[in-house]
Chain A
Amino acid sequence: MLHRRSLLTLAAGTAGGVLSLPALGRPALAQGAARTLRFVPQANLANFDPIWGTQYVVRNAGMLVWDTLYGVDSKFEPRRQMVESEEVSSDGLVWTFKLRPGLKFHDNSPVLAKDVVASLNRWAVRDPMGQMIRAIQNELVAVDDATFRWSLKQPYSKMLLALAKTNSPCSFIMPERIAKTDPFTQITEFVGSGPFRFVRDEWIPGARAVFAKFDGYVSRDEKPDWMSGGKRVMVDRVEWVVMPDPATAAAALQNGEVDWWENPISDLVPVLKSNRNLNVDIADPLGNIGTFRMNHLHKPFNDRRARRAVLMAMSQEDYMRALVGDEADLYKLLPSFFTPGTPLYTEEGGDILKGKRDYDGAKRLLKEAGYAGEPITLVVAQDQAITKAFGDVSADLLKRIGMNVDFVATDWGTVGSRRASKAPPSQGGWHIFHSWHAGADCVNPASYTAMRTNGDQAWFGWPNNSAVEAARDKWFAAPDLAAERAAMAEMNRLAMEDAIWGPTGFFMSYQAWRKNVDGVVKAPIPFFWNVTKS
């Protein structure tokens, strides 16, 4: 049977051969286009408030328009960005920050401390780390135009990380009049102090977003490194062209109609790799972690043994192969909840996910947990390639260990609302859903919402485990790297023992760009500064 995807591969594949010939560009498109970088983003930019809407695509676009006080580098270290200097009192309770001189918003008004205060106040309501700071905050005030002070009731050693992190929502700085908007209401003005201006008149949600170089941007005089360092803009415009169909995006890239594609699907990667006018490389070395989320409120997964049974039988190899096919470079088995290859990575307690899968042991554990063949509601979004692949593997896994699967095939919008239901699965609730987390969010527990185990307050599935929470607190209080490592190892071990959820593996994806584009880096976010087009 000819599937649509096979047809795409066939079409794009043959096209790749045709396009490997010289003289590829359409003259009309090539002429004068060197100053415009055309980019195909991972998703549609449907809204543009990076605090109100926390989707990654909004964060990525926000990074062009709004600047941050700090930014992490490729070693996950927070570096100064809008801030010139900071000072922390000896008891760790008072942080005083001074802004760099000459910073301007896109409306040419200066960036003042009061803008920063308003922006941080809005951000802190929505961001997990911001919420922690708010909980221990005495006051956040502007001392003068260039200085602001954050006084706390107790020390918070991760302050700079909170202000520098890539996780959404980032602490973007907006003018005070905009930042005073309720954090649960969308802003209507998109003025930042970042290296690009948002050209609102040309914004067609679902089709196009345009960003123009901001001539008033004051770049740091340092080497660029991810969110930190000098952000020098080398093109006049960046145009985001939304393409819902991957085959069309592949063809447009090969034809020179676009310059850079953020997330080619793995089926089309061989075609793109065979085209000598294109570069194909890993997009984000921090990748993603797949999740098998279980509902701790209802039988059988309210019993730790049932959850562990799933982990005992879970084959990450199956999940990853279903997702990336034969591209072995794109995945790693992950006996951990955290991002591999990062300084704090740990596999402590991860043995349950290693080695030969134990289906008989899983069946025994399920029996001990009192499972007697009740339907297991597996809610799977079919419109997301990742969750669809995971859902198919899970259905097979659950059947292998003797579970009676009620496979609910639906779309992501429905999963988004159904997973919030605490009702019994037979009354509109659920037992299992799949998702994935950006590896950048899973480097440590700072903003790792899925690792919270504070019951009703936790992420969907509502795990309740005070020991895991205590280990998390230890990480936040850790004075040095060794203590952080120890806390993370403990947290991983305890979370594995309780099987709070199942990591289905670590996977990465490619990005592709034309060879006349230079300066594309591997990072959790596509950065447009220092990118040139010839």
Chain B
Amino acid sequence: MFAYIIRRVLATIPVMVVVALFVFSLLYLAPGDPAAVIAGDQATPADVERIRASLGLDRPFVVRFSEWAWHIIRGDLGISIFTNLPVSRMIAQRIEPTLSLMVVTLVLAVVIAVPMGVVAAWKAGSWIDRAVMAFAVLGFSVPVFVVGYVLAYYFALGLDWFPVQGYTPLSQGFGPWLSNLVLPAVALSSAYIALIARITRATMLEVLQQDYIRTARAKGAGQRTILFLHALKNAAVPIVTVIGIGIALLIGGAVITESVFAIPGLGRLTIDAILRRDYPVIQGVVLLFSFVYVLVNLLIDLSYTLFDPRIRY
């Protein structure tokens, strides 16, 4: 298995190279000019041209890409065109809020969605099942920002239980940290809960028809043991896969959620960078996201061995 892990980690390198080349090319071809944004609306074309030259944006694609790639190889993500700060520092400033949001969302989603799906499968066809499925459809259909506004209206403005916006670092206390994250995490997890609940239900329905479940029942195993020990463990592989795939969903959703709740995370950093054409920041963040995604998928693959002893790497 260790060799497998090494192989998979090494396999991420060509993936990252392709991502880097793709992102760089896309940004190079995309319309827009950071120099024009920097110069301001009143600047003359000559001013814009001079700023472009000072930023090195007038150099050919190959030169710029080679230079950037060389820096990346040495672990240097470059300097933001706008802030003049190292991209790695800007990412470091923003990673905690995003990571916190994603972890809380993930925990919330799994803790709610898996039991929901299990119960829905157990009570298939009942009102409980229909309620769970109705919730799932709602969770998919209502955009994250709408859920966010509704939650903020009731629980922040109305009841004053949580703040409307912002982020408190974990270092300032668990309570304030969690208080800032509850509403955004609930908003962000709605679609995720729906996805996991549906998959859990579908997989569980299939597993519950299997012979070994009938055998377990015949042996007198309790309902809870059958559902959570025999059935859920066998249904775990597709569920875990969906949780992994959903990380991409979370990354996309975090961009919107961070804007709605004014959380200074990577999502907002990405949006700001795209709107201003801050190429080094966009490239750095996209590389980070793709690396995280590849890494999560690796972890998911490895976790299969925990649920299914037949899987060996």
Contact = CB atoms under 8 A, between A and B. Distances in A.
Given A242-B262, A244-B262, A413-B37, 8 more contacts: A46-B272, A47-B83, A244-B268, A251-B152, A411-B32, A419-B36, A449-B44, A460-B45
Contacts of B130: none
Interface stretch (A205-213, A277-285, A353-361): A205-213
Given A54-B43, A184-B54, A411 B275 contact: yes
Interface residues of A, number: 64
The CB with the most chain B CB atoms within 10 A, among A15, A18, A416, is that of: A416
Contact of B38 (A53, A167, A251): A53
Q: Which 8 A-B pairs have the closest CB atoms?
A: A207-B264, A417-B33, A416-B36, A54-B40, A413-B32, A15-B157, A46-B82, A414-B31
A249 B260 CA distance: 9
Given A7-B146, A206-B272, A245 B164 contact: no
Contacts, number: 161
B276 A46 contact: yes
Nearest to B163: A257
A255 B157 contact: yes
Interface of A: 4, 7-8, 11, 14-15, 18-19, 26, 29, 44, 46-47, 52-56, 126, 167-168, 182, 184-186, 188, 204-208, 241-245, 247-249, 251-252, 254-255, 257, 383, 410-414, 416-420, 435, 437, 441, 447, 449-450, 457, 459-460
Contacts of B166: 241, 252, 257
B163 A53 contact: no
Interface in B249-293: 259-262, 264, 268-269, 271-272, 275-278
Interface string B208-230: 00000000000000000000000
A137 to B, nearest CB: 19
Contacts of A205: 80, 82-83, 85, 90, 272
Interface of B is mostly: helix
28 contacts: A7-B146, A7-B149, A18-B158, A19-B157, A26-B160, A46-B276, A167-B42, A204-B264, A205-B82, A205-B90, A243-B262, A244-B271, A245-B259, A249-B262, A251-B157, A251-B164, A252-B262, A255-B160, A255-B164, A257-B164, A413-B36, A416-B36, A417-B32, A419-B36, A437-B42, A449-B44, A457-B46, A459-B42
B8 interface: no
Interface string B50-68: 1101100000000000000
Contacts of A457: 44, 46
Interface string B159-184: 01001111000000000000000000
Interface size class of B (residues with CB under 8 A): 35 or more
Interface of B: 31-34, 36-48, 50-51, 53-54, 80, 82-85, 90, 93-94, 145-146, 149-150, 152-153, 156-158, 160, 163-166, 259-262, 264, 268-269, 271-272, 275-278
B108 to A, nearest CB: 21
A331 B305 CA distance: 68
A418 B31 contact: yes
A18 B48 CA distance: 49
